[in-house]
Structure 1
Amino acid sequence: MSKSNYYKERVIQLLLFFAFMLPMGALAQNIQLNGTVTDVSGESVIGASVLEKGTTNGVITDIDGNFTLSVSPKATIIISYVGYAPQEIALNGRKELKVVLKEDTELLDEVVVIGYGTQKKSDVSGSVSSVSGDKLNNIPTANAETALQGMAPGLIVNFGSGAAGSTPSLQVRGVTTYGTDNSPLVIIDGVPGDMSFLNPEDIKSMSVLKDAATAAIYGARAAAGVILIETYRGTKSKPKITFSAYWGVDQIAKKLDVCNAEEFIHMAKMARTNAGQNPKNWPAYIAAYEQDPTQFGDTDWQDEYYRNGFTQKYNVGYTSGSENANVALSVFYSKNEAIVTGTGDEKYGFRLNSDMKRGKFKVGESVNYSRWESEMEANSGFPGIYQVTNMEPIARLYDENCDGGYGGAIPGMNMSDAANMVGYNNLIENTRATDYIKGSGYLQYEPIKGLVIKAQASRSLLFRETRVFKPTYELGAMKWNESASLSQTRTRSVNDLLELTANYNFTIKDSHDFAFLLGASQEESTYDLLGASGSEFENNDMGILGQARKDYGVQGEKTRSGLRSVFGRVNYSWKMHYMLMASFRYDGSSRFADGNQWGFFPSVSVGWNIANEPFWEDMKETVSSFKLRMSYGALGNQSVPLYLYIPKLDSNADNINYPFDGKVVNQGYAVRSLPSRNIKWETTFYKNIGVDMSLWNNKLEFSIEGYIKDTKDMLSEKNISLSTGYGALTVNDGELRTTGMEMQLIYHGNAGKDFKYDLDFNLSHFKSKLKSMADPNYMYEYGASRTYVGGYFGEFWAYETAGIIQNEAEAKLWKESHGRKDSKGNWIPMQPNAEPGDLRFVDQNGDGMLDSDDKKLLGNGCPKASIGFNVTLNYKNFDLVANFYGDLGVDRYNYTKYQLERMDTKFNYGRNALKAWTPENPNTNIPRAVYGDPNKNARTSDRFIERGDFFRLNNLQLGYNLPATVCGKLGISNLRFYVGGTRIFTITGYSGYDPSTNGGIDRMGYDYASSPLCRTFMAGIKFGF
C-alpha cells in the first residue's frame, strides 16, 4: 500500500471514530423517542429532519418515514422537510410521535436566481432555466460543463474534442455574433468566474439567463447569455462532514474498421493497377511483402493508440453554522488517465465560503484555488486520429534500431509520411499546468427593513505554463528530429472587480410588491505573456532553456482593458397577478475610442398569471398555474480585439530593418494595421414570448417559448484600396438573426408510497442566418462548410454525384454529352479523365464545367432539434438516475471517411474500400480505387455527408441508500453506494467515431478527425456525518 493511500485510510478511520464517540455524552438521562412522519395523504416522508431544539442532536427519517432519537424528556422537537411547513412539538415526557406535515405553498413556489438577486418562479417574466445542484451531482465528472448537457433547454454543450486538456464550449440559444466570442458570461457567487476550474460538487444551483430582460443587467458581456452559479454555503446546523468518491474505467466507444496488412497490400495494388502504373514503379513494400510478409508488421494502430483509461475523483466537504456565522469548505482531487496513450489530466483544489452577521452588518468571502495539469497529445501536424487511421498497418510500432525505440515508415520502401502517434505521445513532452485563484469578499448593510446596501470586491488570477520538449528521435524513414528543441510559455491573467449595489424591496397595502436595484461596477483586466525557445541540447535529459545552444527565441506581450458600468432594475408585482420588470445597463469599455466607448442597453418584460384571476378559480384544480410572459431588450458585445482603434507598431514585420553595407545595424518599426477609430458596440436585440403552466397541483409542469435575436453593427472586415498599404479595415457593418423555440415538460409521479419518479423532457431548436457583412459577397469555405451572406450557419455545399460509370460506352457518352466548346470550337469534356468505375458529377448550372458554382446545398450541421430527457426513480432505498441527450435533423461531414475512402494516396484504407467498384463488383456506391485520382472522385461531395442524428444514454446511475436506522447505529447521517456509466450507448446511423463532436460556429457538424468522447463504467460512494 502506498503512503498516500495509508494516510487516507487513517484519516477516514479517525473521522469515523470521532463520529461514534461524539454522541455518547448525550445519552445520559435521556429517553428514546420513536416516531413516524407522513404527509396529509398518508405517504411516508423520507429524509425529513427531526431535531432536538437548541441542540445539534438530530436524525432523518428512513424509507418508511420512521425515526428513533435519544432526547431529553422535556425537549421540543422540530420536524422539517423541503416543501412542507415545519412543526415544533413539545414532548412533555411522550415517547412516541405521529407527525403529519402539510405542504407550504409559499415554499413550493421555487426561488429562481437572477442577476443581483432572486425572484419567485411565479413572478419571473423573463426567460430563465434553473438546474439544481442535486441533479448535477448525479453526473460524476471533474468538469462542470460536461454535467450540463441536456439539462436545460437552450443551453448547448459543444464537444469539439474529447482529448485530454480540452473543455466543451457552451452556447445559449445558438449564434449571437460572427467572428468574436459566442460564449455566455459565467457568474459564480456574484462575480465573473471560469467553470473549467469549478468543482461540480460545489454547485448548489445554476440559472441560465436567456433573454434581454434577465441578462441586460450584466450588459457588456451578456449578449450571448448568462450562467449564474451559486455554490454551497454554510447554514444554521450542526457541523457536517461529507465524503464522496468514484472510480471508473474509460474505454473508446467505437473503433473504425480499417484494412489489415494483407488487405492494405491488395488495395495498394488495385489503386496502382487502375492508374496504369508499371509494377516496376510500384512502392518497394508491395513486392517485398508478397515475397515475405513476416518482415513487416500487421499493426492495428487504433488498438495501440487507444487504451483503457482510469478515472478517479475524491471530494471532502465541511459545513457548519449558527444564527450569526457559517462556513463551508470543500477539497477535491481528480485524475484521469485518458484513453489516448500518453495523455491525461489531474486536478485538485479547494473552496472556502463563509459569512458573518452582526447587527445590521453582514460580511462574507469566497476563496477558490484550483490546479489543472494536462499531458496533451503531441503535435504531429495533423490530428492524432487522422494519423492513426492513415498509418500503414505494415509499419511496426517499435523498432530498436530507431532513436527512441519506436517504428514508422520503413527505409527504402517509399511509404507515406503518416506518424506513429504512440511514439510521438510517449517521446514528445507537451504539457500544460494552470493555477486558478479567485477571492471575493462583501460587506452588506441593512439600515432599514428591505434596504440592503452591498459592496463587493473580487480578484481572479490565472497562471498558465505550457511546455513542449521535442527530443532527438527517429520514427522510421519519414519522421525524425535531429536536434532537440524546447518551447516554454508563461502567461498571467488578472481580473479585478469592484461593485456597489443597493436593493430596496417593499410592499404597499399587501398588494403592490416593489423591488428596486441600483448599482455601479468597475472591472480591470491585465494579461502578460512571456515565452522562450531554444534547440540543440547536450542530450535529451537536459531539457532546460539555459542549456540550449542555438535558435534562441523570445516573445512577450502585455495588454490591459477596463470596463465601467452603472445599472438598475425595477420589479413590480400586483397580487401575483401582473408582473413588470425593467432594467438598464450603461457600459463604458476601453476597447473603443473616445466617443464610442459607452453603450446603453435597456430591457423590459411583462407577465400575467392568468390562473390567479377570479374567473380561473373553477379550473385551478386541473390547471394549477398559467402564466404568459413577453420581453424585449438590447444587449451589448465588446468582445473585439484590443487596441483596434489605435495604430500598432510591429518590429517583426518584413523589410523594416536598416541595412548598411549589407549588414543590419538597427531594427525598424512599422504600423501593422490601419486603426479602426469608428468601431463601436455590437448590439443584439431580443424578443421573447413564453407560456408557463402546471397541471394537477404542479404534478405536470410545462413551458414553451419562442425568441428572435437580431445582432446589429456586427464587426466585420471591409476591403479597402491597396494604395493605403493595407488590405482591410474593421467596421461595424454586419447583421445576424437567430430564431428559435424551446419546450420543457416535467412530471412528478408516484406509484404507492414506495415508488416515486420525476421525468424531465426538454427540446430546443434554433437557426441562425448571416444577413449582411461589410463585403456583400463575403463567403468562407472550409471543405463542405460554407458561411456566406444570406445563408444559414451550418450549411454543407458539395458536389452532387449521379452514380458510377459502369463501362467504356457509358464513359464515352458521358464525356461527349457533358462539356463545353472553347473559343476555337473544340469540345472540352467536363470530366476528361472519367473511366469505368468513376463517379459522375452533376453540372448544376449547365455551363459544362465543374467548379465551385456547381456545389449544391446538401445538408446542414445545425440540428433541427436538440433534446434532453432526464429520469429520476426512487424505490424504497434504491434510486436510479438516467440522462439522455440527442440531436435530430442534423448532418455531419465525415472527414475521416474522406481520408479512408479517397483511395488515391499511400495511406491506409477503410475496409469499406474493399467494396470499391470493379468490373466484377459493379453494384456498389464506392468508386474505383485509383492512385492519383485523375477523375477527382475524392473531391468534396455528397459521398462524405451523412445523417448525424443520434440519441445517447449520457449517464446512468443505480444507487442504494443505507437505511437511516442503520446509519444512526454507525454514527453517520447517510451512506450511498452506486454504480453507473457515461455514454453507455448511442443510437445513430453515423459511421464516424462520434456524432456529437462539432467544429464550431462556421463549421457546424464538421467532423475533422476530432478525438472521440469516451465511455466510462464506474462505482462510487457518498456518506456524511
Structure 2
Amino acid sequence: MRLRLQIQPKFSPLILLPLFSASTVVAQTNQQQPVTLQTKGAVSVPEFLRMLSKQVKLRFVYNADELQQLPKITVNAKNEPLDQVLSKALGSLNVSYNINNGVLVVRYAQAKSTGLSSAAQTQIVVTGKVYDDNGKPLEMATIREMNSARGTYTNSEGEYTFTLSQPGHIIISYVGMEPQREKITKPTNLTTKLSLRAGAKEVVVTGIVTRQKDSYTGAVATFTGAELKTIGNNNILQSLKTLDPSFIMMENNLAGSNPNVLPNIEIRGTTSISTTGNAINDAFASDPNQPLFIMDGFETTLRVIADLDMNRVKSVTILKDAGSTAIYGAKAANGVVVIETLRPTPGKLRLSYTADFRAEIPDLSGFNIMNATEKLEFERLAGRYSTGSDDVIQEHQEQYNKHLAAILRGVNTYWLSEPLQTGLSHGHSIYTDGGSNDFTYGLGLNYKKTSGAMKGSGRDTWGGNIDLTYRKKNLNISNKLFVSGYNSAESNYGSFANWVNANPYYEKTGDKYLDTIIRSKIYKNNVVNPLYEANILNFNKSKSFGFTNNFQIQYNLNREFRAEAGIQVSNTNTVSNRFVSPLSAQFDNVSVMQKGRFDNSNSNRFNYQASAMITYAKVINKHMLTMNLRTAAEEEIRKNLSFSAVGFPTASNGNPAFAFGYRDGDKPSASEVVFRRLNFNGMLNYVYNGRYALDMNYRIDGTTSFGRDNKFTPFWSFGASWNLHNEDFIRNEYPWITMLKIRGTVGTSSNVNMGSFSSVDVYNYFPSVNLDGQGVELNAMGNAGLKWQTTKQSNIGVDVSLWNNRLSLNAEKYWKPTNPLVVMLDMPSSTGVVGYPINTGELYTSGFELKFKYAPIYNLKDRIILSFNAMGTIFKSEYRNFNNSLYSLNTKEQSNSSLQRYYDGASPSAIWVVPSMGIDPATGKEVFMKLDGTYTFTYDAKDVRVMGDTKPTAEGVFGTSFTYKQFNLSANFRYRFGGDIFNTALFDKVENISYDDLLKNQDRRALYDRWKKPGDQASFKSIAITDDNFKSSRFVQEENVIIGESFNLGYTLRRDESAMLKKIGLSSLRFNAYMNDIFRLSSIQVERGINYPFANTVAFSIGASF
C-alpha cells in the first residue's frame, strides 16, 4: 500500500500568529471556525478534507491511502463550527482526529504508525526529539522526507520515529518556527531545536493588550528574560540600557554605585522642566521625566522594578512612540516599560533554582589627588605658611616643619582606601510550577544580599509570589500575589568626599582630631579625623514591606467577543531612621541639649486600580479586525509622618526615647495626598492579508493633578504599517528578504508625575494661638485653570531582516514637542508663597535611533554563530515660546551661580557660563569676554551664554557575540561622543581653593598646572590666589568615552545532551560569568563618584531546572 502524508499549505499567515492572546484578542478558536460546505453526493474522506482545507486556516496531516479505504460520506453544513462539521462527517467512521497548534491530524484508527511504510529491510530508521528555544518539547511538529509527501509528527513529549527507504534529507518544521534540514545516511537519533521565525509568532505585550508584532505599527523593543541575563545579573534596568539605545540611565556623579540610590532614566529625552527651583509643591511627586512602569498589566514603581528578581522576568517591552504609548494617555509622555513575569504552565511539577554572585570593586581611576610631599609643597606655594603676623607665621612654620618631619618618616596615608571594600553580594531564586489544563499554580521565593563598595553600605531584598490560574471552557481566572521587602543601610563612613579631602601627611589614628590649625591668635581650626566619625555608632537605615495582588478574570462571550476585568490592590510601608551621635564633631560648639540627632520618616503608599474591557475580534477571509473598549479607575493615598529629635546622652545608641526634645522651632510634620484618576479608552487594529495594518486609539483621562477647570483631556494616536515582505513581488523576486516593514505613527500623551497640589490652594495652621484662635497661612497657591502638558509625538520607522535573519536593521526618526509646559513661577516674597504653577513655553525634541546586527557565521543547525551589533541614538532638544515669562526663574538661577537657564532656542542640557579667553601670562589672572566681544579681568554674570551641552552628540553600544554549541561569549562597549561637562574637579580642586580649603587634599593639577610666575603659559590662575572663583568656559570640557559595559561567558547544558543530567534528574544546567563596567576610557580627567564611588563588577550565575 502506498503511504502518503497530505500537508495542505493553504492557510493564512495571519492565523499562525498569536492573535488571540489571553489579554487581547477574542478570536475564533480553531475548533470554532465557521464552515459552509455541501458535497455533491458522497465523496471520499480525502476529498472531503481537501474541500475543507479551502475554508479553514489549518494545516492538514493525514494518510490519503488509508483514509481512501473508508466509506464515502455526504456533508451539508451552513456556517457551522468546525468541530461540529468534523463530528458529523467522521464521527461514525473508524478514524480519530485532533487539532493542536494550528494542525488538524486525521488518523485511521487501526493504523499504528503515521508515516512508516512496509519497505525493504534496508530502510533507515530515524528517531529524535524536537524542542523550542526554551527547551520545551514541541508536540505536533512535522517531520517529512525532503522532496516527498511522506512524513510523521511528534508526540506530546516532542518525540518521533521515522523511516527512510534510502539516504537523504528530512525537514523538521513547526508552525511559526524556522524549519531545520537534517542529512540522514544511517540510523540515528536526533535532537533538534526550532527557533521563532522573524515576525511570525512574535507578539508585542503592551500591558493592556497584546498585538502581533507583524501587524503592530508602534515603535517598541522587546527582550526576553534570557536576553536580559546575557548582559548581567544585577537588575533589569542595568541590562536594558545595554540592549536598547533609547533607554538612557543618566550617570549620577554624586551617588556613583550606591545600591540604595535609584537611577534617573530617560527614554527619548525629557518632556518637563525639572530643577530644585522649579519643583512642583508636592513631596510625593515622582521624577517628571521618568518613564511609566507596568508589571503584569498594572502600574508599579521604579523601586519595585529596581529590586525585582531578574529570574522572575519573562519579557520586557519598551514602548517609545505615541502609537504604542497613547493607550496610557496621561502617564505615557516619557515612554512606558512593560514587564511580564513568568506564568505557570500545565504539566508535571517543575522546579528551577538560580544563584547569583557579585563582587563590586571600587573604581578610583578618576581621582588624581596629591601625595603627602606634593600636598605640603602646594600649601607652601599657596602661602599657607607665610601669611599673618610674625608670631602667627612662626607657628605656621612650626606646623610646616612638623608635617615635613612626618613625611620624612614615611607618612603618606592613602585615606581613599579606608572606607572602601570589595562588596560581595549573593542572591537566590527558586520557582516551582505545574498543574493541569484547568488549574495551574506557581510559587516563587527570592532573596538578595547586596554589599556596596563602601563599608557598611548595603541592601537586603526579599520577595515571594503565588500565581494561580483557573481555566474552564470560556472562563479564565488568574491571581498573582507578590510580597516584597528590603532592609538598607548607608555607610557609617559618611560621604566619600571626606576621605578624598583628608590630608595624606596625617597618620591614621583613632583620635577625634588629626591636627589643630592656627589661623590667628584667636582663631583655630580642628581637623576632624574621618576614622573617628566612622566608629561612633552613627547609622542611616531604612526598611520596607509591601504587597501587590493582581486579580483578573476573562470570559469568552462567543466566538467574537470577550469580556475581562481586573483589580489591583497594593500597599507599601517604608521606615527610615538616621542617627548622628552626640560624640560627633559637628556638635562641638552646641549645647548639651542639642548634641546628637535622630531623624525618623514613616511613609505609606496605598493604591488600588480597577479596569474592565470588552474585546471584539473577527477574521473574514483576508481581513482581521480587533476592537477594544476599556475603562479604568485608580486611587492612590500617600501618607508621611516625620520628626527630628535632638539632645542625646553621650552613650546613646540612637533610641529616640532618650532625646531631650525637638530642634528649636521644629515639630513633627505630617502629610497626606490623594490622587484619583479615571480614563476611558477605545482601540482599533485592522490588518489586511498580512500586508497592511492600521492602529487607532482614543482615550479620555481625568486626574486631580491639574486645574479643576481642566480635569479631563483627550489623547489619541494613529498608526499604519506596510509589510512589504508579504507582497508577491518581494516574496517571489527577492526571497532573501525575510522582513521589510515600513511604519509610522502620530499621537498625543501627557505627564502627571508632578504632584497633586498644582491645582488647589494649600494652607498651613499657624504654630501659635492668639486671642482670636489659631490662624492659617497660605502655603501653596493653586491654578484652577492649569492645563495639561501635552506631548505630540510623530515616528517613522523601518524594520529590515535579510537572509533568514543573518542581517537585521531597525531605524527610527521621531519628533516630540511638548506644549504647553507646566512651570513653577517664582513669586514675590510679599505674597507669602514660594511659587505659582503656570503653563508656558514648549520643549521640542527630535531624534534618530539605529540598531544593526550582522552574523558573518550563521550555522543554526550546529549552533555556531558569530555576530556583530551596533546601536546608537542622536537627539536634540530646545525650549521655545518662553519669551520673557521665566525672567524671575532665570534671575534666581543666576543668583545661585547655576549652569541652567530657560531661554528660547536653548537646550535643557545647555551649560551657561561666561566665556573665558584664558589666563593672562603676565598676571596669572583670568580674562573674560563680555557680550559685546571686549575683554576684561572683571567677571559679570550678565555675560553668561551657552558654552556647551551635556547631551552627547551620539551615544550607543557596539559589540559582538559568539555561540559555539553550548557556549556563548559576548562583549558590549558603550560609546559617548560630543557631550560637554562642567569639570567640578578643575573648578573646586584645582582653582577656587580658599584658605580654609587649603586644609583639604586637592587635585595634583593644582600644583603642576597653575600659573606661578610672569610668562607662564598656564591653564589655571595663579597658585597664590585663594579668592573665590567664577564659573567660566575654562572648566567646560568635551568628553568622549568608551566603556566596557558588559562581558559574558555562558554555558548551557540540556538533559538530552548530557547523560550526567539524566542521571541526577536535571532538565538543564546553566552557568554565566559576567564583567560589567570593567573599564572606562575618557578624553578628560574628571572625578567620578563624589559622595560614593563607582565600581567595577565581576559576577557569576548558576541555574538548574528539575
Contact conserved, 2:272 with 2:289, CA < 8 A, in 1? yes
1:268/1:479 Cα in 2 relative to 1: closer, same or farther (>3 Å)?
farther
Contact conserved, 2:806 with 2:858, CA < 8 A, in 1? no
Aligned counterpart in structure 1 of residue 311 of structure 2, from 201, 207, 215: 201
Partner of 1:537: 648
Contact conserved, 1:275 with 1:930, CA < 8 A, in 2? no
Aligned counterpart in structure 1 of residue 874 of structure 2, from 765, 771, 774: 765
Moved more, 946-955 or 839-848: 839-848
* C-alpha distance in structure 2 between counterparts of 1:103 and 1:757, whole Å: 17
Q: Aligned with 1:949: secondary structure?
A: strand
Q: Aligned with 2:783: secondary structure?
A: coil
* C-alpha distance in structure 2 between counterparts of 1:263 and 1:486, whole Å: 40
Partner of 2:1079: 985
Partner of 1:463: 573
State TM-score, norm by structure 2.
Answer: 0.76
Partner of 2:1065: 971
* C-alpha distance in structure 1 between counterparts of 2:768 and 2:138, whole Å: 80
Is 1:799 aligned to 2:914, yes or no? Answer: yes
Partner of 1:227: 337
Q: Aligned with 2:243: secondary structure?
A: coil
Moved more, 422-431 or 436-445: 422-431
Q: Deviations over 1:823-855 (max 9, x none)?
A: xxxxxxxxxxxx3x3333334424654312333
Return the letter of the residue paired with 1:168.
Answer: P
Q: Deviations over 1:423-462 (max 9, x none)?
A: 4455321111122311111111011124221110001211
* Structural mapping, 1:635-784, within 5 Å: 635-651=749-765, 657-658=768-769, 667-718=774-825, 726=833, 728-748=835-855, 750=857, 752=859, 753-773=862-882, 775-777=885-887, 778-779=889-890, 780=893
Aligned counterpart in structure 1 of residue 1097 of structure 2, from 994, 997, 1016: 1016
Return the letter of the residue paired with 1:977.
Answer: F
Is 1:393 aligned to 2:518, yes or no? Answer: no
Moved more, 371-380 or 542-551: 371-380
Q: Aligned with 2:708: secondary structure?
A: coil
1:554/1:868 Cα in 2 relative to 1: closer, same or farther (>3 Å)?
same
Contact conserved, 1:86 with 1:101, CA < 8 A, in 2? no
Return the letter of the residue paired with 1:471.
Answer: S
Contact conserved, 2:509 with 2:531, CA < 8 A, in 1? no
Q: Deviations over 1:458-478 (max 9, x none)?
A: 012111100011112244997
Partner of 2:230: 138
* Structural mapping, 1:60-99, within 5 Å: 84=177, 97=189
Partner of 1:490: 602
* C-alpha distance in structure 2 between counterparts of 1:854 and 1:203, whole Å: 53
1:395/1:868 Cα in 2 relative to 1: closer, same or farther (>3 Å)?
same
State TM-score, norm by structure 1.
Answer: 0.82
Partner of 1:948: 1039
* C-alpha distance in structure 2 between counterparts of 1:445 and 1:884, whole Å: 48
Partner of 2:689: 575
Return the letter of the residue paired with 1:116.
Answer: I
1:870/1:912 Cα in 2 relative to 1: closer, same or farther (>3 Å)?
same
* Structural mapping, 1:886-905, within 5 Å: 886-902=975-991, 903-904=993-994, 905=997
* Structural mapping, 1:372-521, within 5 Å: 372-377=486-491, 384-400=495-511, 402=512, 407-410=513-516, 420-426=529-535, 427-475=537-585, 483-508=595-620, 510-521=621-632
Contact conserved, 1:264 with 1:392, CA < 8 A, in 2? yes
* Structural mapping, 1:227-246, within 5 Å: 227-246=337-356
Q: Deviations over 1:809-828 (max 9, x none)?
A: x4xxxxxxxxxxxxxxxxxx
Partner of 1:181: 288
Contact conserved, 1:533 with 1:545, CA < 8 A, in 2? no
Larger radius of gyration: 2
Q: Aligned with 1:497: secondary structure?
A: strand
Contact conserved, 2:741 with 2:799, CA < 8 A, in 1? yes
* C-alpha distance in structure 2 between counterparts of 1:479 and 1:215, whole Å: 56
* C-alpha distance in structure 2 between counterparts of 1:525 and 1:797, whole Å: 40
Is 1:913 aligned to 2:913, yes or no? Answer: no
Contact conserved, 1:865 with 1:887, CA < 8 A, in 2? yes
Moved more, 96-105 or 698-707: 96-105
Aligned counterpart in structure 1 of residue 638 of structure 2, from 510, 513, 527: 527
1:477/1:418 Cα in 2 relative to 1: closer, same or farther (>3 Å)?
farther
Is 1:112 aligned to 2:204, yes or no? Answer: yes
Partner of 2:472: 358
Is 1:151 aligned to 2:254, yes or no? Answer: no
Partner of 1:270: 381
Contact conserved, 1:718 with 1:728, CA < 8 A, in 2? yes
1:419/1:596 Cα in 2 relative to 1: closer, same or farther (>3 Å)?
farther
Moved more, 592-601 or 489-498: 592-601
Partner of 1:957: 1048
1:851/1:478 Cα in 2 relative to 1: closer, same or farther (>3 Å)?
farther
Is 1:166 aligned to 2:277, yes or no? Answer: no
Q: Aligned with 2:1042: secondary structure?
A: strand
Q: Deviations over 1:315-356 (max 9, x none)?
A: 112222432222233222111221112211111112222211
Contact conserved, 1:48 with 1:80, CA < 8 A, in 2? no
* C-alpha distance in structure 1 between counterparts of 2:870 and 2:525, whole Å: 50
Partner of 1:816: none
Give the drift of 1:36.
Answer: 6.5
Contact conserved, 1:164 with 1:377, CA < 8 A, in 2? no
* C-alpha distance in structure 2 between counterparts of 1:350 and 1:747, whole Å: 40
- When the two chains are superposed, the root-mean-square deviation of aligned CA atoms in Å is 3.6
Partner of 1:304: 418
What is the number of residues matched between the two proteins? 910
Partner of 1:252: 362
Partner of 1:555: 669
* C-alpha distance in structure 1 between counterparts of 2:377 and 2:191, whole Å: 80
Return the letter of the residue paired with 2:983.
Answer: N
1:425/1:608 Cα in 2 relative to 1: closer, same or farther (>3 Å)?
farther
Q: Aligned with 1:583: secondary structure?
A: strand
Is 1:369 aligned to 2:483, yes or no? Answer: yes
Return the letter of the residue paired with 1:692.
Answer: D
Aligned counterpart in structure 2 of residue 285 of structure 1, from 399, 423, 443: 399
Give the drift of 1:1012.
Answer: 3.5
Q: Deviations over 1:14-69 (max 9, x none)?
A: xxxxxxxxxxxxxxxxxxx9967699xxxx99986558999xxxxxxxxxxxx9x9
Return the letter of the residue paired with 1:324.
Answer: D
Q: Deviations over 1:538-562 (max 9, x none)?
A: 4534522222222273221111110
* C-alpha distance in structure 1 between counterparts of 2:790 and 2:177, whole Å: 45
Identity %: 23
Q: Deviations over 1:734-753 (max 9, x none)?
A: 21111111111133553553
Return the letter of the residue paired with 1:500.
Answer: A
* C-alpha distance in structure 2 between counterparts of 1:82 and 1:1014, whole Å: 47
Moved more, 365-374 or 895-904: 895-904
* Structural mapping, 1:588-627, within 5 Å: 588-627=702-741
* C-alpha distance in structure 2 between counterparts of 1:379 and 1:771, whole Å: 46
Aligned counterpart in structure 1 of residue 442 of structure 2, from 325, 328, 331: 328
1:140/1:352 Cα in 2 relative to 1: closer, same or farther (>3 Å)?
farther
Return the letter of the residue paired with 2:258.
Answer: A
Q: Aligned with 1:595: secondary structure?
A: helix
1:157/1:397 Cα in 2 relative to 1: closer, same or farther (>3 Å)?
same
Moved more, 692-701 or 639-648: 639-648
* C-alpha distance in structure 2 between counterparts of 1:71 and 1:452, whole Å: 32
* C-alpha distance in structure 1 between counterparts of 2:746 and 2:518, whole Å: 70
Give the drift of 1:219.
Answer: 0.9
Contact conserved, 2:552 with 2:567, CA < 8 A, in 1? yes
Q: Deviations over 1:785-831 (max 9, x none)?
A: 2231221121123333334333xxx4xxxxxxxxxxxxxxxxxxxxx
Give the drift of 1:82.
Answer: 9.6
